[in-house]
Structure 1
Amino acid sequence: MAIRTQHTYSKNEVTRWPVPNSWDVLALLLVITLIVLLAYGTTAMVGRYEVGQTLTISLSPWMLPYYALRSVLRMLLALMLSTLVTFVFGTWAAKSRSAERIIIPLVDILQSVPVLGFLSITVVGFIVLFKGSMLGPECAAIFAIFTAQVWNMILSFYQSVRNVPHDLKEASQMFHLSAWQSFWKIEVPYAMPSLLWNAMISMSGSWVFLVASEAISVAHQEILLPGIGSYISVAIAQANSHALWAVIVTMFIVIFLYDQIIFRPLVAWSEKFKAEETDGDDEAQSWLLDLFHRTRLFIFMGHCIRMVADRFVNVRRKQQTVRRVAWFEGRRWQQCVTGIFWVLVAAIVVFCLSVLWQFIFSSVAYQEGLHVIFLGLMTATRVFVLIGLSCVIWVPIGVLIGLHPKASRMVQPIAQFFAAFPANLLFPVVAMWIVHNHLNVNIWVSPLMILGTQWYILFNVIAGVMALPKNMHHAVGTLNVRGWLWWYRFVLPGIFPYLITGMITAAGGAWNISIIAEVVDWGNVHLVAVGLGAYIAEMTALGDFPRIALGIFVMSSWVLLFNYVLWRPLYQLAEKRFQVGE
């Protein structure tokens, strides 16, 4: 790995501020501009709001920069919350077998709950909690975006912490690092490249749900928060094609800016955490990071922050003498406590299911419940057909890109744009095409479900190819392995864990997007496909909470069934047989 030379300060120099240079002026202007914009957007989030108050959305293109600022701010707040939750629960699940048995199935259940389901449940609570304030709807929207981001990040971090190499663990023990120090010095750095990659995917994927998060419509109440999502919703409702073109151009600019200002510097910074050395030409570059490296004032401030961070990381608890109770440490007693714990968990689950069953079927007939299960089967068929087609298309392309780091750096922002591009903008085009050509709605709305999630497969395949050790590349080249044997013996086994992760995430996203893809609107045109997503969307619009709960429960049950029958065995196979370096 190429080592950048950085100026360091002696103990006496730290007490003196350095003389700023011209690069400091540019960096300071950029930082002040970002702080002013974020402060302006945050201030607008705490205004007055009463239930029933009409929030108007202007379709003027001049309002788009302001709406983009509000949307990006919500997404960044949701991403920060997702990172915090990931560190806590991802680490807990990786370190504790008992916690893993609860957290991972719970994540499986929660990621199967559609975003509209979370909104239907939480929006009233947030409005009541922040009565008379805009913070109520804002928190509901941020929480909905958070639910579209966090599950993928938790699973990624959990997988990385579990797979920390043994030599790093031994180094931690040799240096007598505490659990706190080991977390920040070993586990987080090792997981950082994968976590950052998945954070980018989550950020991009959550743009698809921005319309549902900002244009909140529950029980005949519509709340339009200022943002890109509400702008798209109003433009589609009014069939305003000029507004859609304006928002497409805005999306180009917004995605480019947050890629250059946020993710590109983070990717370049995370290069130092890679286990393998890389050539200087293959390292990710960032003009913004290079700008700050040329400054004096910001390098000095970074050194001060680094000293504070070192104290934070190296803090040690005072050793306390703990009296051990012999009878509590007995194996039989521990098994008894574990058994009681799981009996309590089972009792709580059974109680919650019985309450949910009573709530649903007190007003819904059992025949309708069977019909909703059939609707779930229709949506599941669409999901798996589309996942298979996506693998056939994107696995070869992803392998080709991953084998060439320079091509990967060029393709990354392009693919990130298409991943972040709200598929909702293409729905009107598809709706008009279906109506004009008299096509079958149940077939031709299906591709809309995979437009925003197929990129999970591509990104994970690229990451898998780039993670293959160089010595394996050299060995395969030396043995002159070519053709199908190269795919069957080298590439596919090497990328298999990443491919399975991408397929699981893409399938979960497709289930979620089915709610907006199976019901397509453009002005007075209203197309509805036969499927579980359309059922949940229609019941949410009507405010029929028992049927909303039925739809969400059936969707979660289908997702869990496939997780434990198909995805979990494949994931375990990937861990046991296809781990590189084992």
Structure 2
Amino acid sequence: MIGLPGSLSSIRGRETLARAQALKRTWPVVMDLCIAAIGLACFYGVVRIAHYWMGHAEPAIVISLSPRALPVYAFYSVVRIGLAYGISLVFAVGYGYVAAHSRRLEPLMVAGLDICQSIPVLSFLPGVMLAMVALFPTRQIGVEMGAILLIFTGEVWNMAFSFYSSIKSIPRELNEAATIYRFSRWQRLWQLELPYGAIGLVWNSMVSVAGGWFFLMACEMFVLGSRDFRLPGLGSYLQTAASDDDTRAILWGLAVMIGIIVAIDQLVWRPAITWSNKFKFEQVEGASRSRSPLLHLLTHSGALHSLRRHTLAPMSEKIYCSLAERRARRMVRADGVAVPASGGWMRWVIAAILIAGVVYLASQALALLREVTTPQFWAVMRGAGATFLRVNVSLAIAACWTIPVGVAIGFNPRLARIAQPLAQIAASVPATALFPIILLALIRVGGGMGIASILLMLIGTQWYILFNVIAGAMAIPSDLREVAQLFHFTTIQRWRTVILPGIFPFLITGMVTASGGAWNASIIAEYFHLKNQTMQTVGLGEQISSATDHGQFQLLLLSTVVMALMVVTINRMVWRPLFRLSETRFKLEG
């Protein structure tokens, strides 16, 4: 009787151990089944969207306001935004890489980036949409590709700026180590530049997708002259509901959009943030780290582990060996007889073709601008001054609250887990869906389109600064923060010596992209259709939107050129010197 309790406890211990071992054997199988289910769902989505896109073009699509149509509309919108983001990511990495490494092309490419980020989506709209429809006149894919490219123009520029500034701010010792170990260009990009820029790319990707949701209403339903282009999606659903003053449909559409944003946050952005934290440049690991159940699922999947071990790892090893052998052969040839440069004549031919194309397009643009009358010209100039003031007021208001809040979120992972999804939701909900409510409320209290346009610019662009400040705060090494705490720095000392220098490159990137976003948002903020009337105020955005509605392409071109020139001038005089300061004085290096 004395030994009975001991024997019972040993039996229970063996049963617990057996259950734990069975669970350990079963759990990887469950993970693999989840991965397989995700793969099958993606495959079905590809088949469904391909069947729709390759169908015949529908001349007049009627947008249903029934809640039953929302799942299909949401699926189409998510696919458009996802494809636009994929194109934006590839373009941003390639563009930022070339601009950062080519001394000859860098000034031209950065100036082009300044111009493109300031050109509103509606300025791209006529050429892009007509070109896509002409390429696929009988298929639905033409209009779809046009909408995707328009969303791309609203997502890509801040990501390209982020990756470019990340490469320019890589610490000198890391670049020297890559040079000493004779990294090839591919190795330097894959093992140094992409990891160093991962945090900025992830957070700018979030605000880019939020920008895609912001311009979704303009890209899925618009009028171009006498032609009405509309696509089934959440953007067209919300715009139709706002035009019909259907509050119930607006609430249904916003509820579905918020649900999608929360799902994307948990399935995409939370794992991406957790994954990017391992690329933080620091000597001491931080005490607290963000976690993601989905990332844990992916990293502990037996099928994915086997794929990496038996397929991806050997393939990458062969690629690296091939690159190393090729680089060694080039160095041997360089040490011997000099190899004559080839392809020089081809570069001259390509340059001549490009110059001829630019001259032809410039002559056509000048011919179109001759149709602008003197009153129209001065109206554009007055609009430029008004929009300039609104943009700067909205930037000042945004900076006042986003800098302290972004630093607090970046320094506190627990707060980030709560605030980051809320910020993502707030940034992604189209302000145009809320604009009727804001406008009517301001009219009742004695305001008007002048104040409402500033609020809409603020709602649409403050997130560029916030998300970049969060990324900058998260990128500050933990050892610097611990040193400041060890030496009992005051709050002012910590901000002056650690926080502001640490976030400065990210802050400048956020301010530049927010400035371009504010100019871009003016097309909606200064010209808005409410029920059966058009609410408008003096501004460049009003000129562009009105010219698009009435098919006045000469005014559209003049307004776009004036906006681009103003943005480039501001960037040259203000933001470019600050960029150089961030690349030299505020670079993290030993």
Structures share a fold, TM > 0.5? yes
Q: 2:368 aligns with which of 353, 356, 359?
A: 359
Pairing of 1:151-166 with structure 2 (within 5 A):
151-166=157-172
Question: Is the Cα–Cα contact under 8 Å of residues 431 and 522 in structure 1 kept in the other structure?
Answer: no
CA distance in 1, matches of 2:574, 2:162: 19
Q: How many residues align?
A: 555
**1:413 maps onto 2:407 in alignment:** no
State the 1:309 CA deviation: 3.9
Question: Is the Cα–Cα contact under 8 Å of residues 465 and 511 in structure 2 kept in the other structure?
Answer: yes
CA distance in 2, matches of 1:481, 1:215: 54
Q: Which moved more, 1:224-233 or 1:344-353?
A: 344-353
What amino acid is the match of 1:357? L
Q: 1:245 aligns with which of 224, 239, 251?
A: 251
SS in 1 for 2:535: strand
CA distance in 1, matches of 2:274, 2:430: 27
State the 1:381 CA deviation: 0.2
Q: 2:401 aligns with which of 393, 399, 405?
A: 393
More helix by share: 2
What amino acid is the match of 2:80? R
SS in 2 for 1:239: coil
Q: 1:35 aligns with which of 37, 43, 62?
A: 43
CA distance in 1, matches of 2:383, 2:312: 55
Q: Which moved more, 1:189-198 or 1:531-540?
A: 189-198
**1:374 maps onto 2:382 in alignment:** yes
SS in 2 for 1:223: strand
State the 1:573 CA deviation: 2.4
State the 1:279 CA deviation: 5.0
Q: 1:198 aligns with which of 200, 204, 216?
A: 204
**1:44 maps onto 2:52 in alignment:** yes
CA distance in 2, matches of 1:471, 1:63: 53
Partner of 2:447: 439
Partner of 1:7: none
Change in 2 beyond 3 A, CA 1:170/1:496: closer
SS in 1 for 2:182: coil
Pairing of 1:276-355 with structure 2 (within 5 A):
276=282, 282-307=288-313, 308-316=315-323, 318=326, 319=329, 324=338, 352-355=361-364
Change in 2 beyond 3 A, CA 1:369/1:304: farther
State the 1:64 CA deviation: 1.0
State the 1:80 CA deviation: 1.2
State the 1:338 CA deviation: 12
**1:490 maps onto 2:479 in alignment:** no
CA distance in 2, matches of 1:348, 1:36: 43
Give deviations 1:323-381, integer Å, cap 9, x for gaps: 6478x89xxxx9xx9999999988976765454222112x2113421320220110110
Partner of 1:581: 589
CA distance in 2, matches of 1:339, 1:482: 60
Question: Is the Cα–Cα contact under 8 Å of residues 526 and 539 in structure 2 kept in the other structure?
Answer: yes
CA distance in 1, matches of 2:74, 2:440: 27
CA distance in 2, matches of 1:277, 1:67: 48
CA distance in 1, matches of 2:304, 2:497: 49
Question: Is the Cα–Cα contact under 8 Å of residues 431 and 520 in structure 1 kept in the other structure?
Answer: no
CA distance in 2, matches of 1:229, 1:478: 51
CA distance in 2, matches of 1:410, 1:345: 50
Question: Is the Cα–Cα contact under 8 Å of residues 539 and 547 in structure 1 kept in the other structure?
Answer: yes
CA distance in 2, matches of 1:305, 1:212: 43
Question: Is the Cα–Cα contact under 8 Å of residues 390 and 457 in structure 1 kept in the other structure?
Answer: yes
Partner of 2:507: 499
Q: 1:132 aligns with which of 120, 133, 138?
A: 138
Q: 1:108 aligns with which of 103, 107, 114?
A: 114
CA distance in 2, matches of 1:354, 1:476: 60
Give deviations 1:141-178, integer Å, cap 9, x for gaps: 01011111111111111122223333333333343332
Q: Which moved more, 1:30-39 or 1:342-351?
A: 342-351
Change in 2 beyond 3 A, CA 1:164/1:485: closer
State the 1:314 CA deviation: 4.6
Change in 2 beyond 3 A, CA 1:289/1:455: same
Question: Is the Cα–Cα contact under 8 Å of residues 126 and 136 in structure 1 kept in the other structure?
Answer: yes
Question: Is the Cα–Cα contact under 8 Å of residues 162 and 204 in structure 2 kept in the other structure?
Answer: yes
CA distance in 1, matches of 2:588, 2:182: 28
CA distance in 1, matches of 2:505, 2:339: 43
**1:175 maps onto 2:191 in alignment:** no
Change in 2 beyond 3 A, CA 1:207/1:313: farther
What amino acid is the match of 1:233? Q
CA distance in 1, matches of 2:432, 2:250: 10
Partner of 1:463: 471
Partner of 2:458: 450
Question: Is the Cα–Cα contact under 8 Å of residues 431 and 527 in structure 1 kept in the other structure?
Answer: no
**1:121 maps onto 2:130 in alignment:** no
CA distance in 2, matches of 1:166, 1:73: 41
Partner of 1:5: none
Change in 2 beyond 3 A, CA 1:350/1:97: same
What amino acid is the match of 2:41? T
Question: Is the Cα–Cα contact under 8 Å of residues 214 and 431 in structure 2 kept in the other structure?
Answer: yes
Question: Is the Cα–Cα contact under 8 Å of residues 118 and 144 in structure 1 kept in the other structure?
Answer: yes
Partner of 1:76: 82
SS in 2 for 1:97: coil
What amino acid is the match of 2:542? A
CA distance in 2, matches of 1:367, 1:79: 41
Give deviations 1:423-442, integer Å, cap 9, x for gaps: 11111102322343442322
State the 1:419 CA deviation: 1.0
Give deviations 1:161-197, integer Å, cap 9, x for gaps: 2233333333333433322222222222222222122
Change in 2 beyond 3 A, CA 1:181/1:496: closer
Q: 2:99 aligns with which of 70, 82, 93?
A: 93
SS in 1 for 2:139: coil
If the length of structure 2 is used for normalisation, what is the TM-score? 0.87
CA distance in 2, matches of 1:472, 1:279: 11
Partner of 1:404: 412
Partner of 1:146: 152
Pairing of 1:528-543 with structure 2 (within 5 A):
528-543=536-551
SS in 2 for 1:216: strand
Partner of 1:475: 483
Give deviations 1:506-549, integer Å, cap 9, x for gaps: 11111111101112233124311111101111110111111111
After superposition, the CA RMSD in angstroms is: 2.9
Q: Which runs of 5+ in 1 are unaligned?
A: 1-17
Question: Is the Cα–Cα contact under 8 Å of residues 220 and 541 in structure 1 kept in the other structure?
Answer: no
Q: Point out 4+ residue stretches in structure 1 off by more than 4 angstroms.
A: 277-281, 320-323, 337-354
CA distance in 2, matches of 1:343, 1:292: 50
SS in 1 for 2:104: helix
CA distance in 1, matches of 2:347, 2:229: 47
What amino acid is the match of 1:548? L
SS in 2 for 1:282: coil
Question: Is the Cα–Cα contact under 8 Å of residues 431 and 521 in structure 1 kept in the other structure?
Answer: no
CA distance in 2, matches of 1:385, 1:189: 36
Question: Is the Cα–Cα contact under 8 Å of residues 127 and 137 in structure 1 kept in the other structure?
Answer: yes
Partner of 1:210: 216
Change in 2 beyond 3 A, CA 1:339/1:74: closer
CA distance in 2, matches of 1:20, 1:202: 35
CA distance in 2, matches of 1:474, 1:232: 48
